[in-house]
């Protein structure tokens, strides 16, 4: 998974071609840490069809808020600079994430 930050979020996510998945996580967020291995596994499985990225919001708070992310974890799908789909908090389960990925491949 490509690590993005507040500098690279623009070019790597918003201006990228095709669908981009973003895993929004944070330093103190235990549910995020628990979910991350599942997302990493999906990036192995689907990485050639969707670009997988992750953003540490603790170091990019304003960027997260600008993306309407105020609660973690969030797994979002971007296309053409817009967030087209997302799973927030309790909805961000392994099964739901895989179902969301499959909608866009």
Partner 1 sequence: MSKIYDVIIIGAGPAGLSAGLYAGRSRLSTLIIEKAREGGQIVNTSEIANYPGSLEEESGPALIERMKSQAKRFGAETVYDTVSEVELEGDVKTIKCLANTYQAKTVILANGAYPTPIGCPGEREFTGRGVSYCATCDGAFFEDLEVYVVGGGDSAVEEALFMTKFARKVTVVHRRDELRACKSIQEKAFANPKIAFLWDSVIKELKGEELLDTMIVKNVKTGEQTEVKADAEDGMFGVFVFIGFRPQTALYEGKVKMQNYYIVTDENMNTSIPGVFAAGDIRVKSLRQVVTAASDGAIAATQVEKYLEAEACSVI
User: How many Cα atoms sit within 13 Å of 79 on the Cβ side?
Assistant: 9
Nearer Cβ to partner 1, position 20 or 29? 29
Of the residues 18, 27, 49, 84, which one makes contact with partner 1 according to CB under 8 A: 27
The reply on whether position 29 binds partner 1 by CB under 8 A is yes
- Show the 3-state SS of 10-33: HHHHHCCCCEEEEEEECCCCHHHH
Decide: is 71 part of the binding site for partner 1 (CB under 8 A): yes
Q: Could you tell me if 44 and 50 are in contact, meaning their C-beta atoms sit under 8 angstroms apart?
A: no
Contact 9, 24 (CB under 8 A): no
Is there binding between residue 13 and partner 1 (CB under 8 A)?
no
Q: What is the footprint of partner 1 within residues 80-99 (CB under 8 A)?
A: 88-90, 93-95
Determine, following the binding rule CB under 8 A, whether residue 102 of this chain makes contact with partner 1: no
For residue 3, give both structure tokens. 């690590």
- Is position 33 an interface residue for partner 1 (rule: CB under 8 A)? yes
Size of the site for partner 1 (CB under 8 A): 28
């Amino acid at each position: 998974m490509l690590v993005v930050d507040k500098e690279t979020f623009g070019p790597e996510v918003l201006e990228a071609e095709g669908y981009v998945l973003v895993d929004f996580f944070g330093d103190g967020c235990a549910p995020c840490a628990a979910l991350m291995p599942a997302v990493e596994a999906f990036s192995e499985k689907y990485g050639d069809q969707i670009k997988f990225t992750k953003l540490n919001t603790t170091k990019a708070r304003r960027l997260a808020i600008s993306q309407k992310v105020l609660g973690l974890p969030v797994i979002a799908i971007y296309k053409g600079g817009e967030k087209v789909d997302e799973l927030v908090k309790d909805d961000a389960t392994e099964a739901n994430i895989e179902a969301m990925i499959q909608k866009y491949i």
